[in-house]
Structures are given as structure tokens and as C-alpha cells.
Amino acid sequence: MGSKSDYDVLLAAIEILRALEIPHEARVLSAHRTPDQLFEYIGTAEGRGVQVIIAAAGGAAHLAGVIAAKTLLPVLGVPVVATPLNGLDSLLSMVQMPRGIPVATLAIGKPGAANAALFAAAILALKDPALHDRLAAWRAARAQEVLDAKLPE
């Protein structure tokens, strides 16, 4: 995430990664405030076993694009509400990456963060049958919640 102020949104992703028992790390690194440390982190990520990066940021939100420019790992972008433009600025910044350097952009805010974690899980599950089963069980549980929903009399 680009700032500690993004953490509340990213928690929606972290909770799903925990529930699916996916090893993960959460870092605050900014493309404009800590560019050198960001490049250092990205440069060592693949070697440390990182397979997917979720990048969340608000405002101009160049974090995901900068990360994507420095790695071949899949980068999932989560736009965050941080300005009076209510996240539309971040969404357009991420989703409008010029051809050649992709950022797979999710919805604005917590729904996007949760879906980023689930999308990362789906990528990792391609080569992890146990995770595939946990992901299937997670989705079945959500379906059951809908079927069990009780409405007021």
C-alpha cells in the first residue's frame, strides 16, 4: 500500500489471505515518497518467493503501474478513496495503463481489495491443489450464507 492510511481498505484483502492460509506480507511503500525502497522491495520480491503483488493506492495512484514496470509478477491494483474525487482518480490511473505494462485493476475500496485477494488465490490455486480446495470451500460457504439468509417476517 502507498500509505498507512490505506490499511483499513487493505485489511479486507489481508483477512481473506489469512482465511485461505496464503502466506503474505504487507508493506507500506510509496512510488513518490520512498521510490528507492520500493525498487529495492520489488527487485528482491521474486527471489523471496513472492508470486503475486497486490498494489493499493489513492490519488494519482501510480504505485501499481510503477511496480508492474519493474517486475514480471502479476500486479493487481486496488484503487483507494483518498481525495475529493472518491477513488475515481485512482481507478482511472490504474485501469488506464498504456499498452505493454498491465495492471489488473479491481474495484474501488474494500470490495476491490477483497477481490484482489481472491484473484491472487485463483492464480496461486492453478498450481496448488490444496489451495484450490480451500478456495472452493470458501466460495461454497459464501453461497450457503446467501441461501441461509433470513428476512424480517
* 109 is a contact residue toward ligand RP5 (CB under 6 A): no
Distance between alpha carbon 3 and the CA centroid of its chain, in Å?
14
Identify which of 96, 112, 101, 109 has the alpha carbon closest to the alpha carbon of residue 71. 101
Q: Is 134 exposed, middle or buried (0-12, 13-18, 19+ CB in 10 A)?
A: middle
- Minimum CB separation of residue 80 from ligand RP5 in Å reads 4
- The residues with which 78 forms a beta bridge, in sequence order, are 56
* 87 is a contact residue toward ligand RP5 (CB under 6 A): no
Site for ligand RP5 (CB under 6 A): which residue of 3, 34, 51, 86? 3
* 44 is a contact residue toward ligand RP5 (CB under 6 A): no
- For ligand RP5, the binding residues in 61-80 under the rule CB under 6 A are 80
Identify which of 126, 111, 109 has the alpha carbon closest to the alpha carbon of residue 52. 126
- Minimum CB separation of residue 109 from ligand RP5 in Å reads 11
Given the rule CB under 6 A, which residues bind ligand RP5?
2-3, 5-6, 30, 57-59, 80, 82
